Structure formats: structure tokens, C-alpha cells
Amino acid sequence: MNQLEQLKQHTTIVADTGDFQSMKAFAPRDATTNPSLILKAVQKDEYKPMLEKAVRDNAGKSIDEIIDRLLVAFGVEILKIIPGRVSTETDARLSFDTEATIEKGRTLIKLYEDADIARERVLIKIASTWEGIRAAEVLEKEGIRCNMTLLFALPQAIACAEAGAQLISPFVGRIYDWYKKATGQEYAGADDPGVQSVKRIYNYYRKFGYKTEVMGASFRNTSQLTELAGCDLLTISPELLQKLADNDAPVTRKLSAESAQAADLQKLTLDEKTFRFMLNEDAMGTEKLAEGIRLFCADAVKLEKMVAALR
């Protein structure tokens, strides 16, 4: 078996793309999207008609409403290809607005249900700020499942689990990027700080009985992926999926609920003040969260401009 086939024996594979052909080629169970991926997709000739249709069919609606319908249109098409769930992201500009995030989550789920998609097949992606986590807590109680994104630090992961979030997406590659830049060192295998972060979170969840799923995200190389074999899910770009498919080196399970019991971890309970202080003490987590929100906001603005130009 190639590495992709071996990895699928230990971990659920998720496609990190808005490209339908890639999903058909690699047969993932789930798929994730974000504003950057949708922006990239609609600039391709094969997906421009989806953007044009969303604008045409929703003439008279606001740009915000048109984009919501475009995101859901992509999600609906993706769900025709994959057997599992699709993640659709809320606007990053709402990252510090709990009530607006709740309303956006409800709006997106209603659009999916209007398209005859059961809410169980949709994850609403929300930034793992304190405000975003509080929004997820409300949405989860309403049966709207959430994927907590832009997650870089253990206090974010703990708060998400305590809020009952369905799934978290710790960003392996962006953690690696920060440490590589800060230290001038290359990291590989088990020494990779991004890999170590996800292992710590996974072990914490399993040791203390949290049900929240861990989905490693934002990978830079296949070594990061094989080091996390056994993680609940891994969301992988088409480029890295291809590299795994082209390699038949052995893949062994690195994470398990059994091994997590031996992890040297202390259980923490976080109120808002403790959460904010712990995150502030983590320079990498603080900087990458702020940077990630800015980048997603910038791509959301670019997408709005594309919609406005077609109206």
C-alpha cells in the first residue's frame, strides 16, 4: 500500500481544497473549505460559473448574502462527491463578535437545510478566539456542529473542548513556520513543534475523556502527516495527498487513546481571564492567531470585490 492508503487505516482523511476534481481523485471522507480556498477556486475557469450563478440568482441581495450562498453552493457540490461532512467558514471579521458569529452559523445551516442537506453533514468553521468559542458553545447546543479553526495553542484547545465543540483544527504548518523563523532551525519528524502541539492536544483530550475530534491542518510536508498517524482526522492539500499516494514507505501509528493515558499532563479549567493570559503568554499562538484572522479577512474582501464586479 502507498502512504495514503496506510494513513487511511489509522486516520480519517479530509481534503483541504475547494477543487472537486481533487476530491474525486483521492476519495477523502470529509472536506474543508475556507475563504482563501474558495477565492482560489473561483479564479479558475471551471469554477467561475458558480460565482456568476450565485450573483445572477441572488440579484438584489447584499454582497454578504451572495457570498453565503456561494459558500453553501460549493459545500453542496462537495457533498455530492464525499460521503462525510463539509466545513464552511464564517467571516473572519466576526472573530470577536459572539452574537454575529452565532447568527452567521444559523444562517449557513438554514441555507444548507433549504438545499436538503442535513445539518449533521455540515461543520461551521469558527476562529478559536474566546468570542468564537462562546458562539460555538451556543451553536452546539442547537445541534449545529462546529469546526474550531485558527487554533495554535493548548488553552484554545482546552476551551473548545470544554465548550463542547465537535472538532478542532490545530494548524501544524503555521506553528512550524513560526518556530523555523524564530529560531532559524529546520524541524523534522517528531521534533517538529507543530507535530508536538497536536500530539499534546490529542493526548490531553484522550487522557481526560473529551469527545471533541482533533483534525490536524495546515501541513508543509508528508513527514508532519505520517508523524500524526492515529490522529482523529487530518485535512490535507491535493499536493500532499499526491505525494503520499506516490510513496510506499511504511506508516506506523503514532497516536492512540491507550498511549495518551501515559502522557504527563495536568487537567486545567479555563475561565476567560485564564484563557486570555495563557494565550498571551504564548507568543507563537498570539501572533499566528492574529495573522491568520488578518489573512482570512483580506481574502474575504477580495472575494467581495469579485462579487461586486459582477453585479
CATH code given to domain 3-310: 3.20.20.70
Indicate which residue of 48, 53, 61, 125 is catalytic.
Answer: 125
Element (H, E) at 289: helix 283-310
17-65 confidence digits (pLDDT tens): 999 999 999 999 999 988 889 999 999 999 999 999 999 999 999 999 9
Cβ 150 vs Cβ 286: under 8 Å:
no
Q: How many CB atoms lie within 10 A of CB 147?
A: 30
pTM of the model: 0.95
In this predicted structure, the answer to whether residue 174 has a pLDDT above a threshold of 90 is yes
The pLDDT tens digits for 78-102 are 999 999 999 999 999 999 999 999 9
Q: What band does 298 get if pLDDT is binned at 50, 70 and 90?
A: very high
Report d(CA 127, CA 130) in Å as an integer.
9
Cα 207–208–211 angle (5° rounding)?
100
Q: Is 243 a catalytic residue?
A: no
**Is 90 exceeded by the pLDDT of residue 293?**
yes
**CA 223, CA 195: separation in Å to the nearest integer?**
9
Q: Model confidence at 114, in pLDDT bands (50, 70, 90)? A: very high
pLDDT single digits (tens) 241-291: 999 999 999 999 999 999 999 999 999 989 999 999 999 999 999 999 999
What is the C-alpha separation between 170 and 215, in angstroms, rounded?
7
pLDDT at 5: 97
3-state secondary structure of 216: strand
> Which three cell numbers mark 91?
467571516
- Within 10 angstroms of residue 202's Cβ, the number of other Cβ atoms is 26
At residue 251, φ and ψ (nearest 5 deg) are -120, 125
